[in-house]
Amino acid sequence: MYAVIKTGGKQYRVSAGQKLKVEQIPAEVGAEVTLDQVLMVGEGENVKIGAPLVVGAAVKATVVSHGRHDKIKIFKMRRRKHYQKHQGHRQNYTELRIDAIAA
């Protein structure tokens, strides 16, 4: 069984037992989180598509850890204008373990 969930402005296809890095969620490590924005639930040939959400569907997940992604480098330059700007960014994330999908 799998589901398509929406969290942090992004959509993810998840199944039970999967680990997933999503945008930071304010929850303690080890806490159980319920993701109720389920866009689609599928199992084999049976697929339920929400309009926009599937009614009564939820995904239970456990917070495994919090962390920061690798640094990305941002470089801006205007040619012939003697302008260069260097910048870096590290995005925070929350790692989840998907426990159950309830349709």
The model's pLDDT over 6-44, given as tens digits with 9 standing for 90+, comes to 999 999 999 999 999 999 999 999 999 999 999 999 998
Instruction: For 62-92, write each residue's pLDDT tens digit.
Output: 999 999 999 999 999 999 999 999 999 999 9
pTM across the whole model: 0.85
Whole-angstrom Cα distance, residue 49 to residue 29? 32
Token pair, residue 63, equals 């917070």
Domains of the chain, by residue range, sit at: 2-102
How far is Cα 64 from Cα 72, in angstroms, rounded to an integer?
24
